[in-house]
Structure 1
């Protein structure tokens, strides 16, 4: 299996694909990418601008990303830290105190517990989600987007854009549309700008 391209190459190809397709959408949304990677927004912004984030250790990464996921989990569920720690304690067989220390980003979990946290928080990529460098973590999040843009046939929205020759659109609105709804929308747009066969421009 080929190694993934470095982040700099991914960003260069993304920029090229976005320009070629004329997509009016903030695909590289800093907040969303930060949430997806459990990286600080400042780190994501720095990396997207071609900069280098501060050095960190693997232990720092693990502690920080677990803490970010814990805060996001509490925000989404309305749980308190004590509730989350208790749930993790029961699910993963550790003390409530130790679970809280880990969720607070104060302690580094064992390899076994880290594996359990991968399943608990349902993160993609296994333990590497927590241990990868910031650049590698962001790169992993961007590669599926790059694949969709470079291979539009794999994405219904982009495939229909290519089919109907739509070169500029705001993709944010398409998340709530089915393929059939989107196709009807694009057909309507096409009919409004192209005269019927045998007809004349008005």
Structure 2
């Protein structure tokens, strides 16, 4: 299996693909990438500009990224740290105190607990999500976007848009279609081709 290109190469190819498409894709925004990688927005911004983020150790990365995921989880679910720690304690078989210390970014989890947190938070790339250098973490998040832009035929929605000469800039131009309208349009298309739940397999 071929090794992935380095981040600098990914960014160069993304820039070329974006210029060819005539629109900068929404997934390239700093906040979105920071959320997907559990990296600080400042680090993502630095890397996108071709800079070098501050040095950190593997332990620093693990603590910071778990804390970022825990914070995002609490924001999404509206729960408190005590609730999150209790849930992790119950699911992974560790003390509530230890779970809270880990989620606060104060303690480095054991390898076994780190594996459990991969499953708990549902992250891709396994333990590497927590341990990879920032440039590698961002690169992994950008590669699917790059593949979608360079090979739109692999994405049926992008392929259909290409077939009719439409891109996301066209859809948003002059307020012709909002994001919500595009979603409703796609929902209607899917509803027309996907059988109702009760009739599948009949």
SS at the partner of 2:91?
Answer: helix
Equivalence map 1:102-181=2 (5 Å): 102-166=102-166, 168-169=169-170, 173=179, 174-175=182-183, 177-178=185-186, 181=189
CA contact (8 A) 2:27 2:33 kept: no
Distance across 2 between alignment mates of 1:170 and 1:31:
23
Within 2, Cα distance between the matches of 1:46 and 1:66? 21
Shift of 1:170: 5.2
Taking structure 1 as the reference length, what is the TM-score of the superposition? 0.85
How many residues of Structure 1 are paired with residues of Structure 2 in the alignment?
182
Once superposed, which parts of structure 1, at least 4 consecutive aligned residues long, lie more than 6 Å away?
none
Segments of structure 2 that go 5 or more residues without pairing to the other structure are 173-177, 191-202
Distance 1:94 1:158 in 2: 45
Unaligned 5+ segments in structure 1 are 183-202
Q: RMSD over aligned Cα, in angstroms?
A: 1.8
Measured after TM superposition, the shift of residue 132 of structure 1 is: 0.4
How far the C-alpha of 1:89 sits from its partner, in A, is: 0.5
Decide which structure has the larger Cα Rg and report it.
1
Residues 23-72 of structure 1, C-alpha deviation per residue, up to 9 Å, x if partnerless? 25433110000000000000000000000000000000000000000000
Normalised to the residue count of structure 2, the TM-score between the two structures is 0.85
Partner of 1:90: 90
